[in-house]
A and B are shown apart, each in its own frame.
Chain A
Amino acid sequence: MAFVSSGYNPDKPMADRITDIGPKKYDLFYPEVIAKNKGKWLYHEILEPGILVHVSETGDEVYTIRCGGARLMSTTHIREICEIADKHCDGHVRFTTRNNIEFMVDNKEKVAPLKKDLESRKFAAGSNKFPIGGTGAGITNIIHTQGWIHCHTPATDASGTVKATMDVLYDDFKTMRMPAHLRVSMACCLNMCGAVHCSDIAILGYHRKPPLLDHEYLDKMCEIPLAIAACPTAAIKPAKVELADGTTVKSVAVKEERCMFCGNCYTMCPSMPLADTEGDGIVLMVGGKVSNRISAPKFSKVVVAFIPNEMPRWPTMTDTIKRIVEAYAADANKYERLGEWAERIGWERFFEKCELEFTHHLIDDFRDPAYYTWRQTSQFKF
């Protein structure tokens, strides 16, 4: 493969350089019906799972078919999306915050052929390319992070845990039988790219072993003061270490019982890796929400402290998630989000109904906010 220049001249990087132009302007990409009716929408309705109509005061309508998608997406797949949008949607398409794909048409008659086309497309091994759903009181696509595909700090994979979970929850992507929205999110370490800390169910990768110390290289590869400063629990201090060959090097020492396994030191210093086959796994958190509907936004709470990584399909994790979803679906009132349900019945009942074991790991002991989570009343349920 011969190098092909774009026109960029490395000897004169500033020649013809264009910078600070920002993104493309949003309205270049609006479908005609959107451009015409922006700000004029009167109401919407979910006609069936995954299919919405929005009605404008001008009388115009836009029909949207929402499809799930893996956020990891090849150009081959994007070109197929384009082919569909060219065929049915005048060359327009939209993505949602939760990695769904939205195909829009301006006429009800165009919905059925589009739907049929989308449903007919499958990957070679049989999975659906464009499952339709993800609306209303159901379970929509899982937002997630990079995982083992492309990140240096994950404690689990993201795409794989999401695929395994969505296969188990697939029927609820296609239907709307839940008491309210149920949002599942996934982050592969506690840096939590995205909003998993406020999700109905959050899948979180977690390390459980303190960093390894590559003493011979640590001072050469890292700024030791930065690694020390990065630790939120002040567990890292400078140390002089004698190597096997008798030389003494500058390095760090870790007070291991103070480590919260956040990996911040590793982000600052590559000579302090945390990843470990047995140490790493999954934490499940539940009951968060970002909407202000009825009750205020809430953080998710840890209800399962650890599930081992079970590649490739994480069955213990998906079974546990399914159990929580079914307990919620069976017991919550209409409109009640998972966290609102747990608060109404009491967390002691939540553990009972979801058949989850309560262990000391689930009692907060991290700084001031911990105290506010302990029971400070004689009101509780047996």
Chain B
Amino acid sequence: MKHETPLLDQLESGQWPSFVSDLKQEAETRAKNEKNIEYQIPQDAVDDLLGVLELSYKHGRTHWKHGGIVGVFGYGGGVIGRYCDQPEKFPGVAHFHTMRVNHPAGKFYTTEYLKQLCDLWDFRGSGLTNMHGSTGDIIFLGTTTPQLEEIFYEMTHNLDQDLGGSGSNLRTPADCVGQARCEYACYDTQDLCYNLTQEYQDELHRPAFPYKFKFKFDGCPNCCVASIARSDLSFIGTWRDDIRIDQEAVQGYIGGELPSNAGAHSGRDWGPFDIEKEVIGLCPTNCMKMEDGKLLINTRECTRCMHCINVMPRALRIGNDRGVSILAGAKAPILDGAQMGSLIVPFIKVEEPYTEIKETVIEPIWDWWMEEGKNRERLGELMKRQGFQKLLEVTGFKPVPQMVQEPRTNPYIFWKEDEVEGGWKRDINEYRKHHLR
């Protein structure tokens, strides 16, 4: 190895896959270069990355500098500039920019395609990636400025592949495994994710927003991609009709022939399955009961929390009248504290080409946010600043009690003039005829 890394070496032991071991094997692969690759960035980039990381472990501080403006022509996102603050010691990573590559919805791959990505990245980059970044993109970690256009050219011409979002853009939308391999999915998350990504390519590549904007697509209320916590518009699959019940399978669970929770709790002896205690008693709305050996669910009272379905997946299935709930304004704490998504659309059908979702939800909200949002103000913060009423006004949605946890506890209602009989224009002299000064 080019640099001594006594601290990092201690992260090679233990059972969990060691990223240090992986970095070392990559450094070695590049040093040997058995494929005779004409490396377009320093061959020892990974060695130097290990070196600079070791220095951070020694100092307890990062050695990466600010980005600076780098990118590909005509795009305002997809590339994050990165420079080392010790370039003389670690010239291999002096310039080490990140490229975000828009991953396929559902994150399924063919090996043929992955190998093409690897070939490109070995040739023109560090050979290091994140599979995947937090937003969902494939992350190409580390290349130089002259390679950016070359990589983009090869990616678009040879791989039919585009970059993802960064900066004040639509960020790369992401979804769960959905109907591809999950019986809980209430809509085709992959298709909605792909369709909106294609529809809004301009917003994804060219920064025109006050700040970042995220779409995420969860097929059901289990929320495996955490859309409710981290996306400005969160699409959560749901249904309006009855949970489908297979009474025979319910008996199978009661009798212990079927493994409850699809086997998820099998690592401990929790005793025999007890439908009263584990399902009916834990239902948050108490809308279930056993009667004459049959499980009954009062659909009108059900809030579709998924617990009973998760516990008895072979007996209970999502309803047939499916769609999504849309929640707006989730974000991580910066700047003004974390926000959870707030329900703006209780139910909307998910039907190709998704015109209703685009034209009645996404676009009116964007118009408002682009008009009124301050620099670096997320949608959720604008909602807090201007109020939920404003969101209703710009979308035209009718207020319904489903939108609130509880009604307001203060009476400080900002009545509008046109809501008050006779308006606000009054004559003080007329008033004084009856009320002396």
Query: Which A residues fall within an 8 A CB radius of B?
Result: 1-8, 10, 13-14, 16-31, 34, 38-39, 41-47, 49, 54, 62, 64, 68-79, 81-82, 85-86, 91-97, 99, 101, 104, 123-131, 135-138, 143-154, 157, 159-160, 163-164, 166-167, 170, 173, 175-178, 187, 190-198, 229-230, 232, 262, 264, 270, 275-278, 280, 288, 290-295, 297, 299, 309, 311-313, 334-335, 366-367, 369
Contact = CB atoms under 8 A, between A and B. Distances in A.
Interface residues of B, number: 155
A177 B266 CA distance: 7
Given A18-B156, A70-B22, 13 more contacts: A3-B146, A24-B160, A45-B262, A71-B130, A72-B130, A91-B112, A127-B14, A128-B17, A152-B64, A153-B62, A166-B16, A178-B267, A192-B333
Nearest to A308: B60
A28 B110 contact: yes
A232 to B, nearest CB: 4
B334 A74 contact: no
Contacts of A335: 278, 282, 307, 311
Contacts of B40: 1, 3-4
Given A148-B63, A197-B332, A70 B19 contact: yes
A41 B181 contact: yes
Given A70-B22, A76-B22, A81 B149 contact: no
A78 B112 CA distance: 12
Given A43-B313, A78-B129, A292-B222, A157 B57 contact: yes
Nearest to B230: A195
Nearest to A191: B334
Contacts of B348: none
Interface stretch (B3-11, B291-299, B353-361, B410-418): B3-11
B267 A137 contact: yes
B183 interface: yes
B223 A292 contact: yes
Contacts of B266: 46, 136, 176
Contacts of B129: 72-75, 78
Contacts of A275: 61-62
A93 B109 contact: yes
Contact of A192 (B142, B306, B334): B334
B338 interface: yes
B228 A290 contact: yes
B134 A176 contact: no
Given A71-B132, A125-B18, A127-B18, A312 B264 contact: no
Contact of B223 (A5, A72, A290): A290
B100 to A, nearest CB: 11
Given A20-B201, A69-B17, A264-B335, A78 B118 contact: yes
**Which 8 pairs between the two chains have the least Cβ-Cβ distance?**
A136-B264, A167-B14, A176-B267, A74-B26, A123-B21, A125-B12, A82-B111, A194-B134
A290 B307 CA distance: 14
5 contacts: A23-B197, A95-B131, A148-B63, A173-B16, A294-B305
Interface stretch (B66-74, B396-404, B429-437): B66-74
Contact of B134 (A123, A145, A290, A369): A145
B241 interface: no
A43 B338 contact: no
Nearest to B27: A74
Contact of A137 (B185, B261, B307): B261
Contacts of B387: none
Of listed B17, B133, B194, residue having the most chain A CB within 10 A: B17
B104 A195 contact: no
A19 B156 contact: yes
B284 A294 contact: yes
Contact of B15 (A97, A131, A295, A299): A131
A20 B202 contact: yes
A188 to B, nearest CB: 9
A254 B265 CA distance: 53
A184 to B, nearest CB: 12
B90 to A, nearest CB: 13
A49 B20 CA distance: 26
A17 to B, nearest CB: 8
B180 interface: yes
A43 B108 CA distance: 20
B11 A123 contact: no
A177 B264 CA distance: 9
Contact of B67 (A21, A28, A152): A152
A264 B334 contact: yes
Contacts of B314: 42-43
Contact of A91 (B96, B111, B161, B197): B111
B210 interface: no
Given A152-B66, A153-B62, A34 B284 contact: no
Contact of B26 (A75, A94, A95, A312): A75
